[in-house]
Every structure is written in structure tokens, then in C-alpha cells.
Amino acid sequence: MPNPFSERKRALDFLKALRQSVGKKKSAAQQNITCKHCKAEHELSALADAMYVCSQCGAHLYIPAKERLLKLFDGGQFEERFTEIAPRDVLGFPGYSKKLAEQVSRSGLSEACLCVTGKIGGFGAVCAAIDIKFMMGSMGTAVGEKITLAAELAQSERLPLIIFSAGGGARMQEGIYSLMQMIKTSAAIRRFSDAGGLFISYVTNPTTGGITASFASLGDIIIAEPGALFGFAGPRVIEQTIGEKLPEGFQRSEFQLEHGFVDAIVPRKEMRATLARLLMLHSGGAAL
Amino acid sequence: MKKQIPAYERVKMARDAKRPGALEYIAAICGDFFEVHGDRAYGDDGAVICGIGKLELPDSRELAVSVAATCRGRTIEERVRRNFGMAQPDGYRKLQRCLAQAVKFRRPLITFIDTPGAYPGKSAEERGQGMAIAECLYQMSAAPIPIITVVIGEGGSGGAIALGVADRIIMLENAVLSVLSAEGFASILWKDASRAAEASEVMKLTAADLLEHKIADFVIEEPEGGASETPEVVIGRVRDRVRSELGDLLRLSEAQLLERRYQKYRVIGK
């Protein structure tokens, strides 16, 4: 049953968090980031210039979704879409509204999914990107809705669709609603595909659970970033429930390429050129 | 009065070894059931049962249907053979094969869900567990045949909904459907699997909850003691409901069926 007081409280918390996040402009450039693979220290600004790829060991570290899109689109120009879609406490789950407000203030994001339109190498595209900084990129209803809207927009505008996947799967606090987003997004991708649309699934670290078992696995072309974890049951789940020890590199991009589940592993610095090339190869085709 | 049963009690009832499994429902609903085996690529997954049978409609017409189900098994030997109802990619690919034939021969598809979830193991990952499940969702969402899903026991996570893209979702009163097991949920959120009973309450996983949230379309009541104690009654109710729902769905055109199925899921969390 919807409680008007908790609804109101949620809205107020949300606004408060949003205000705080805007006010907080940290001197980010001075911050140092340690590569979790080789322990090399990087100045944040230098790392950002290198698209968050470690200059020492080549590890592809976390890149904020927005920064990725700035590097991807022509002249860093894109239009953000569906900004009105915000997360909701669909089950009235204890503590979730507060948690959402904290996540908004901590991440500076309104949800884990960003949806934009713009041009890549002169070719128009609809693009969605999941940012794991918000609730670990889990697929709540707002994420499912944005992915679905992105597919529907791509279909109505006759544009290709690119989705940068990440995230640990379901949003526990949204329970069954979260689970059902797997069906909703897969059905939307199917409709888009039946209409002749090109969908490039771009898998980034880590992509698991319900995101792997829905849209991330349904691309006409599936690209993965080097070293990205891409699997259904995560390594910890497998080790805890089945007790199996997993070999080094299990479920990583290179493993998935070898097992036939991805088309190519593309280093981040080649992302833009690779996508522009694929869009070019699909232009002037059948329906789109 | 039955509403007072705590959610975790229902979870336990859903998992009860004495509860009728998919094979019993299939035997009662479909005459001449012919089971098919294998995914034609790797092997035959005992956790997923697929086949063809005859079903009698409310107007006494007989109709061939395809059937797919997850099955945990009753005896220990059968449970081991069926991997406790946890399907591997081969099981989901067997389902896809069954679905493709249902579309080809214009047979409705009836699915039964009873699984703790997809098998979370090394072999499953090596053969593309996530992709196998995604492909089920992708194919079922656009299959131009009536699809009815009955959740008869536990419906755990993505491994369950891989059989659950349907025009009608029917749940037994003591069946559950959830994003994760109550134990898994408690251990992820609260780092304490022993709080499963508490988790069950907030997860909204019972049939009554799912009906209220418009995920399930119908709930079939179970007599006192549940399906384990009165299997014939419950199986009979499921048979009647499947027949009458199928009768209704067969009146829709393919376009209507697909549009309604799309909208059924499209509105969830909109």
C-alpha cells in the first residue's frame, strides 16, 4: 500500500541529496588512484586523460559512464534522454528510499543508467551506459525502463543501439520487479531486432547476473573490454554454493572469446574507432 | 485465514519433497505425453523436461501442445539425476528447441516452474548460462503461440523466468517466485542467511503478493496442508485452469497475443 508520508519523505530526501551533490565540487585533479592490478599510482587527471587505462599494466579500470560517452561521441557532444526516469521504492522496502538518497549524493548520478543520443563518426546512435557507482549498477526498474526506452527510441528513430553493460544483476531491494526487467528489456531488444535494428552489446567490467542473462547477451555484435568479468553466476557465488575453485581468468573477456561468447575484445582507446567502423559497415543496409 | 501463514512457511511448503512435481501435472493435464530429449549440441539436461502431449479444451476439442518444465525429482536418485531442478545451459537450449517446434507446428506452450534457480557452476558458465537464459527470454517474448506458465513450487531467479515469458502466469497458493532465494537474499543484504524468514516477508514472494503486484494473473488455492497432502485436488484445479485459459487465449489473433504479452511485461516498473 502506498504511504503518502513515505512518498513525500522520499521526494524530500531525494531533493536534499541532489542539492548536496551539486554543492560538492572536490579538487578532484589532485586525487591519486591506485591501479588495483599492479598497484601503480596515478594522478586522477592523467588517468582520466588515458580513459582510465593503467599506463603501467594496461588494466582497464572503472570509467564513469559520462566520461566514456564524452570520449565516444563526435566532439564530446550528445543529448541525454529520459532524465525524468528516477528510481522508486516499488516494494516499500525498509531503508531503500534512504539508501537511494545516499547513492544519489555519493555518486552524483540519479540512477545507474545513462541514455543518450548523438553521433559517432558521423553516424547517429542511441546509447545507454550503466555506471556501477550507483547501487553497483544493479538493474532496478529505472534501469530496466531506460534500457527499454532506449531500444524503443532506437526503433522509432531507426537508429542503431549501443549498450555499455556493467553491474551485478538484480536490485535486491526491488525484488521481483527487478527480476522482471530481464524479460522487459529482452522483449524490447527482440522487437527492435525484428524491425531490423542493429544492437551492439558492449560488455564492461563487471557484467553478471540478470544483466548477462538478458540484454547484454543479445547483441548482434558483442564486444568486451579487456579483462572484463562477464558471466551469469559470479565467481563468489560459484565458490560459495558449489564449492568449486575457479581457475585464473575464469569468465573474463579472453575466456569468453575463447569459448565463443563474444565477437571481439577491444581496448578502450580503440572503442570510438571500432564503433564508428561497425556503424559504417551497417549503414545503407536493409531496414535501418 | 490462510493469509496468516508466514511467508517463509510457504517457501518451505513450495520446496517440500512430497509436493507434486512437474511430471505429475503433465501426466494429469496431457494425454499421450511424448518426452523429447537433448539440445542437439551438448547433452540432455535432466532438470528440464520437454515434450508434446494432447490437451482437452473446455469445449471438448483436443489439441496438441508443447510442454516444458523444470523438475527437481522426488526420490534422492531422481533428484541427483535432475540436479535438484537446477538447469544447465543445455536444459535452456532444449527448451528453445521445444519452443521452435511449438511455433513451427502452431502448438501452444505450457510451462511449469519448480526450480531453486539456474545451476551456478563452472560447467554451466563455460557453456554460456547467461546467454542460454537470455535467449529463452528473447525467443519466448516473440513466439506467436499462446504460452501459459504455472509456478507449482519454487521459482528462483533468472533460471525460473527463463520459462516464464507467458500470456498468463498462474501460481499455486503455496508457490513462490523471487529474485533470489530468501537465504541468498538475507546473506547478500544483511550478511546473515539465518534471517531468511525475515527476508521472505519483505521480498513479496508469495502468490498473494505477486497477484497484488500484478505479476501473477491467477492464484490457485490449495486445501489445508497444501498440495503435498491433497495432490489430486490441486492437480485437478491446475488442469481446469490451464484448459480454460488456453480456450480464451486461442480466441486471440497472433498480433493481439504478441502485443498483449509485450505490454504485460512492458508496464512492470514503468
Confidence at residue A10, expressed as pLDDT on a 0 to 100 scale: 64
Confidence at residue A31, expressed as pLDDT on a 0 to 100 scale: 82
**Sequence spans of domains, chain A:** 64-282
Q: Average pLDDT for residues B4-21, to the nearest whole number?
A: 94
Residue A107 pLDDT > 80, yes or no? Answer: yes
CATH number for the domain spanning B6: value is: 3.90.226.10
Sign of CA dihedral A125, A142, B163, A153: negative
Report d(CA A280, CA A277) in Å as an integer: 5
Q: Which class does domain A64-282 fall in?
A: alpha beta
Position B258 confidence tier, pLDDT thresholds 50, 70, 90: very high
Confidence at residue A286, expressed as pLDDT on a 0 to 100 scale: 43
Q: Which of B169, B47, B50 is nearest to B115 (CA)?
A: B47
Residue B269: inside a domain, yes or no? no
Report d(CA A180, CA B157) in Å as an integer: 10
Confidence at residue A6, expressed as pLDDT on a 0 to 100 scale: 61
Position A1 confidence tier, pLDDT thresholds 50, 70, 90: very low
Question: Residue holding cell 547483441?
Answer: A219
Confidence at residue A236, expressed as pLDDT on a 0 to 100 scale: 85
C-alpha distance from B263 to closest chain A C-alpha (Å): 9
CB contact under 8 Å between A93 and B202, yes or no, is yes
Report d(CA B181, CA A273) in Å as an integer: 43
Position A287 confidence tier, pLDDT thresholds 50, 70, 90: very low
Q: Torsion angle of alpha carbons B198, A179, B101, A256, nearest 10°?
A: -110
Helix (H, G, I), strand (E, B) or coil at B208: helix
Confidence at residue B31, expressed as pLDDT on a 0 to 100 scale: 83
Confidence at residue A23, expressed as pLDDT on a 0 to 100 scale: 47
A137-to-A141, B143, B220 alpha-carbon distances in Å: 12, 30, 36
- List all residues of chain B from 72 to 91 with a beta carbon under 8 Å from chain A: none
Tell me whether B185 touches chain A (CB under 8 Å). yes
Report d(CA A65, CA A90) in Å as an integer: 25
3-state secondary structure chain A: CCCHHHHHHHHHHHHHHHHHHHHCCCCHHHCEEECCCCCCEEEHHHHHHCCCECCCCCCECCCCHHHHHHHHCHHHCEEEECCCCCCCCCCCCCCHHHHHHHHHHHHCCCCCEEEEEEEECCEEEEEEEECCCCHHHCECHHHHHHHHHHHHHHHHHCCCEEEEEEECCECHHHHHHHHHHHHHHHHHHHHHHHCCCCEEEEEEEEECHHHHCCHHHCCCEEEECCCCEECCCCHHHHHHHCCCCCCCCCCEHHHHHHCCCCCEECCHHHHHHHHHHHHHHHCCCCCC
Joined grid coordinates for residue A142: 529505472
- Interface test mutation site (partner B, options A232, A254, A259, A263, max chain B beta carbons within 10 A): A232
C-alpha distance from B238 to closest chain A C-alpha (Å): 23
Rounded to 5 degrees, what are φ and ψ at A246? Answer: -105, 140
Joined grid coordinates for residue A246: 575457479
Position A28 confidence tier, pLDDT thresholds 50, 70, 90: low
Predicted ipTM > 0.85: yes
Tell me whether B3 touches chain A (CB under 8 Å). no
Q: Torsion angle of alpha carbons B210, B213, B216, B219, nearest 10°?
A: 60
Confidence at residue B125, expressed as pLDDT on a 0 to 100 scale: 96
Residue A191: closest CA among chain B residues belongs to which residue? B142
Q: Which residues pair with A31 in a beta bridge?
A: none
CB contact under 8 Å between B128 and A191, yes or no, is no
Report d(CA A29, CA A173) in Å as an integer: 35
Position A19 confidence tier, pLDDT thresholds 50, 70, 90: low
Residue A2 pLDDT > 50, yes or no? Answer: no
Confidence at residue A245, expressed as pLDDT on a 0 to 100 scale: 87
CB contact under 8 Å between B137 and A187, yes or no, is yes
Q: Which of B246, B219, B55 is nearest to B148 (CA)?
A: B246
Name the region of B84 (left: φ>0; alpha: ψ -120 to 50; beta: rest).
left
Residue B118 pLDDT > 90, yes or no? Answer: yes
- List all residues of chain B from 197 to 216 with a beta carbon under 8 Å from chain A: 202-205, 210, 213, 215
Q: How many CB contacts within 8 angstroms connect chain A with chain B?
A: 165
- List all residues of chain B from 246 to 265 with a beta carbon under 8 Å from chain A: 261-262, 265
Joined grid coordinates for residue B73: 525429482
Residue B266: inside a domain, yes or no? no
Report d(CA A215, CA B160) in Å as an integer: 17
B140-to-A25, A99, B59, B218 alpha-carbon distances in Å: 48, 35, 27, 20
Contact yes or no for B114/A201 (Cβ under 8 A): no
Query: How many domains does one find in chain B?
Result: 1
Confidence at residue A239, expressed as pLDDT on a 0 to 100 scale: 86
Residue A13 pLDDT > 90, yes or no? Answer: no
How many CA atoms lie within 13 Å of B34's alpha carbon, on the beta-carbon side? 7
Residue B1 pLDDT > 70, yes or no? Answer: no
Q: Average pLDDT for residues B26-39, to the nearest whole number?
A: 95
Q: Average pLDDT for residues A181-196, to the nearest whole number?
A: 98
Residue A3 pLDDT > 70, yes or no? Answer: no
Whole-number mean pLDDT of chain B?
Answer: 95
Q: Which residues pair with B55 in a beta bridge?
A: B63
Q: Average pLDDT for residues B126-138, to the nearest whole number?
A: 98
**What separation, in Å, do the N-terminal and C-terminal C-alpha atoms of chain A show?**
45
Confidence at residue A21, expressed as pLDDT on a 0 to 100 scale: 54
C-alpha distance from A55 to closest chain B C-alpha (Å): 31
- Interface test mutation site (partner B, options A82, A182, A250, max chain B beta carbons within 10 A): A182
Residue B268: inside a domain, yes or no? no
CB contact under 8 Å between B268 and A184, yes or no, is yes
Report d(CA A164, CA A168) in Å as an integer: 14
Confidence at residue B188, expressed as pLDDT on a 0 to 100 scale: 86
Give contacts of A219 with chain B, Cβ < 8 Å.
Answer: none
User: Which structural domain range is residue B208 located in?
Assistant: 2-261
Q: Average pLDDT for residues B87-104, to the nearest whole number?
A: 98
Residue A209: closest CA among chain B residues belongs to which residue? B130
Residue B3 pLDDT > 60, yes or no? Answer: no
Joined grid coordinates for residue B214: 500484478
- List all residues of chain A from 120 to 159 with a beta carbon under 8 Å from chain B: 140-142, 144-145, 148
Helix (H, G, I), strand (E, B) or coil at B128: coil
Pick from B130, B178, B188: CB nearest A232: B130
Q: Average pLDDT for residues B154-160, to the nearest whole number?
A: 95
